[in-house]
Chain A
């Protein structure tokens, strides 16, 4: 390989049944300037230790599978380059705040179970027949939700959210951003149902505005903004309900 350098990659490994706790194993990985951390892990699996377990699919930051902690920061392995960490060592761990299934694979069951609760689809505001044509939307209406629709469900924001780590009941930054994406869509009519979740114990009031979720998002979504806009919506709804109590 041309212009090859070598870096020590310290991987947090966990093999249930073989070791009671995770341990660190160091691999010497030769790399070129264009090699991502994911490619480094693939090198380890292909040439050094075939038992290393990790998730990946698209290699182009759209499938959201290869999220790992790199030197303690949540990143997608495919869009983070080994050269940035030279001379190293570089520490790779499973995403924080999730139970480790094996090596770098986390149990995402909690996220998957919560996903349908936010109704991540457009519930049409009014029934329309095909003959009535499509719902039209202005650029300003698109702007209200567009950035939130870029979420790829990679869960890096969960690994960045200490409140989720402390209490996984919390719906969390990513799903709240996705909930907000549908709630502010002019075509959608299910805001009232989703707001029940926003107000609940699992809802937005678990957030203490750490703001790290928005820092680590690989798609420049701002989950902290979605969460905090919904705190405002939740507070307004609470007080207007209080005022309307006499009805």
Chain B
């Protein structure tokens, strides 16, 4: 019998080989931006504990053009984060049966996206009313 000499292909740069993998990596990277924004909010909490003036300073900082540009960028990234995770959501759940029929993947994703849109916009309106 001939000696077997198999060839193992390298994995370096695997995620660049396929558009699906690139989208997956983009989804994973969005988590870092979510963490970064949690730090921004945490900084606000720390400033709040230091008193009124400190908190106002933090708020002024948020109103700077650089901060607004950062927030617009984050908003776009968070929208992709939400979209990409609700797209994979049907794959993470046991089948949902409604009225004897299995709910389609598209219905689960659609409901998740609709719920995030309603909650997101609802919260924005709530804050606007609160501020008025």
Contact = CB atoms under 8 A, between A and B. Distances in A.
Contacts of A101: 4, 6
B7 A100 contact: yes
A228 interface: yes
Interface residues of A, number: 32
B11 A16 contact: no
Interface in B1-57: 2-9, 11, 14-15, 17-18, 20-21, 24, 28
A143 interface: yes
A72 B91 contact: no
A166 B91 contact: no
A16 B7 contact: yes
How extensive is the interface on chain B, given as a class?
20 to 34
B130 interface: no
Contacts of B8: 99-100
Interface stretch (A43-51, A187-195, A207-215): A207-215
A229 interface: yes
A184 to B, nearest CB: 9
Interface in A223-241: 224-225, 228-229, 231-232
B112 interface: no
A211 B5 contact: no
A5 interface: no
Contacts of A107: 4, 6
A117 interface: no
Contacts of A225: 90-93
